[in-house]
A and B are shown apart, each in its own frame.
Chain A
Amino acid sequence: MRISLFVPCFVDQIYPQVAWSVVRVLEELGHQVDFPEGQSCCGQPPFNTGYWDEARTAARVALAAFRDSEVVVGPSGSCVAMMKVFYPQLFKGDSQELEARELAAKTHEFSSFLVNTLGVTDLGAKFEGKVTFHDGCHGLRELGVKKEPRALLANVRGLELLEMAEAESCCGFGGTFAVKFPTISTAMDEVKCASILETGADVVVSNDSSCLMQIRGMLDKQKSTIRSLHLAEVLASR
């Protein structure tokens, strides 16, 4: 299958290794991966803050970038939800509504794509360590992704999954919310990190790098030795 990679802007700039891990996993499965270079940001920051005109301007770039793609896969529940769930609303009544719907239909979150579209759960990965998994809210509640990452982690050799009590609680990121209401966002982050700590895991894994940025920010502040990795990085480990 020819798969177009959707790399969220902050993954592009801060976590390029996550995107490479996705490339590695998909190529090892025998698929052809391309990266439409015209892509930038999906437009979620202005969309979530209420500035839908500006969100549409950014989103039109994505519509153009992925116009010729067969399938689009991205390593972020949040940015994929933006395209899959919110683009059709954002473009409702717009001349590009149909195009937005087409992109929504062919776009998939990475773990969901592996399990539900490709039907793979064992990628031959090896990763020694105790891992706890954080469900990003958009992946969990907008896209319904819950079992998929766990099915994939269950087949990683050497990995022990320790579920945290607050796995489904929001980390407090929420895009511009994190800087508009830093005290609330930080309190949520504290709750999340305390729950991670409680499991005794050495690594926190998620299918969303934006949540991991928020969680990492707190762990670093607390001088914690717990590592944070994207699911793709774990699945690409050998």
Chain B
Amino acid sequence: MTTFASEFKKMAGRYTADLTHRAFIKKALSGYYQKRDDSKASFQSWQGARDLAAETKYEAVNHLDRYLVEFAEKIEARGAKIFWAPSAREARDYILGVARENGVRSIIKSKTMTSEEIHLNDALEKEGYGVFESDLGEYIVQLRKEPPYHLVFPAMHLTRGQISDLFQKELGSAPTDSPEELTMIARRVMRRKYCEADMGISGANFAVAETGMISITENEGNARLTTSLPRIHVAILGIEKVLPRLEDLALFLPMLATAGAGQQMTCYNTMYGGPRQPGEIDGPEQMHVVLLDNRRTELLADAEQRDTLGCIRCGACLNVCPIFKNVGGYSYGTTYQGPIGSVITPHLRGLQDWKHLSAASSLCGACTEACPVKIDLHHHLLQNRRNAAAAKPVMIEKISFLGFAWLMSHPSIYHLAAKLGRVFQPLHPIVNGTFLDPLIAWTRSRAFPNLAPTSFHEQWKKSRK
């Protein structure tokens, strides 16, 4: 087993044993379900909206060559600089280069999972740049030196008390139980940082080809300040973020808000089309747009799983996933947690190293049902399993299933084996639940059923002939 797989098993074991944590996540999500369903109900047809969203993304992804170029040309015409980053390293190097050339001293960031994917903060900090997260949840996990727990709710695993303790320790604030007061504490720190920062880094939720603009959706207003106060704005986004037309946002903005946070719309929805234009009195002097591939084109080449590029990173699949709800966000060890992470991480970071995430699913399909852009998530897990076994079979599994298949295609021997099982069954209680028990993986936590005295096959033969 790879280190990633054993680490996952270890963490999953720890988190599933933590009943307080499981109850806390369950409670946090129950509020989301209610709000999500209320918001879904305000769509004329949620299923119709999903169909349209899936079609739109399908069109965009299948014509990336056209739409990306259209987006790039239009935003460049207004003075933004485009950088096509083949991999994480090139993206990091480019952003570091911009910081160096412009004598940047302080960097502020709004929420961007793409920057997590390329480990941007580490790279900037290593070069001596202070990086400050301006999204409240991200700020909290940054202070704890943790990665985001959930791709939309980075600090959902923390109680108000834990946040208050953290602020007390790190910021010297007075203890409080009030969410408003906690927000105000963070806000006082942040306001100063916005004014000091000379570079603002953001992500993007969508890139509109038709108008050459990026769209950012948020609830705190921090992305607006991050992108407009500092003299340099760097936006980093995966190449799959492109949408063909401006009017597509009329569908995607409410859809993302609904699936992501159970809101009809998020509080702030902003379009960015370039740096400060002649005659304008504010806005950044420079705007850089980093378009990241980082093996997305390999996903594009996989006709079976290309639809994963339609992902709008709403987190809806995490919120309904029984695996995520029990193992939590940190067990995965990936940038993208939950079903979407389990599907794409093997593509982004290597199938053999990350195939265990595709195996760690009961294939219940709750994710696929929840996905607003209809990504066939649980079937992709199945395809990853097939691809992994075909490329590098696990010997014990291969031999077991060869034996199994042989047995099942030789019915008389199969029935004989079942009879033998009945002979040995009375001995099972002797070893039940011990390390000698061949069924220990089951019996440690669950009772194993007894075989019936005779099989249906035998009973049918006797009664009907």
Interface positions of A (Cβ within 8 A of B): 7, 9, 11-17, 19-20, 35, 37-41, 43, 45-46, 48-52, 54-55, 57-58, 60-61, 137-138, 140-142, 168-170, 172-175, 177-189, 191, 213-214, 216-218, 220-221
Contact = CB atoms under 8 A, between A and B. Distances in A.
A80 B103 CA distance: 65
B362 A221 contact: no
B405 A182 contact: no
B459 A14 contact: no
Contacts of B421: 13
A216 B404 contact: no
A225 B421 CA distance: 28
A220 B326 CA distance: 22
A14 B421 CA distance: 11
B225 interface: no
Interface in B386-404: 386-390, 393, 397-398, 401-402, 404
B364 A183 contact: no
B365 A137 contact: yes
B389 A50 contact: yes
B456 A16 contact: yes
Q: From DSSP, what is the main secondary structure of chain A's interface residues?
A: helix
18 contacts: A13-B451, A48-B385, A55-B405, A57-B408, A58-B409, A61-B411, A137-B364, A138-B365, A141-B366, A170-B366, A174-B364, A177-B362, A180-B359, A180-B360, A181-B359, A183-B9, A183-B13, A216-B449
Interface of B: 9, 12-13, 16-17, 22, 322-323, 325-327, 359-366, 368-369, 382, 385-390, 393, 397-398, 401-402, 404-409, 411, 414, 418, 421, 441-442, 444-452, 454-457, 459-461, 464
B65 to A, nearest CB: 29
Given A12-B455, A177-B361, A184-B326, A57 B405 contact: yes
B401 A46 contact: yes
Contacts of B12: 181, 183-184
Contact of A186 (B401, B446, B461): B446
A80 B361 CA distance: 20
Contacts of A51: 389, 393, 397-398, 401
Contact of B365 (A15, A141, A172, A185): A141
A58 B404 contact: yes
A57 to B, nearest CB: 4
Contact of B447 (A11, A137, A140, A221): A221
B159 to A, nearest CB: 21
A177 to B, nearest CB: 5
A12 B456 contact: yes
A180 B444 CA distance: 13
B452 to A, nearest CB: 5
A216 B447 CA distance: 7
B360 A177 contact: yes
A13 B322 contact: no
Contact of A172 (B9, B327, B359, B362): B362
B363 A174 contact: yes
Given A12-B457, A50-B385, A184-B12, 14 more contacts: A35-B460, A37-B457, A40-B407, A54-B402, A58-B409, A61-B408, A140-B365, A141-B365, A141-B366, A142-B365, A170-B362, A174-B363, A180-B441, A217-B447
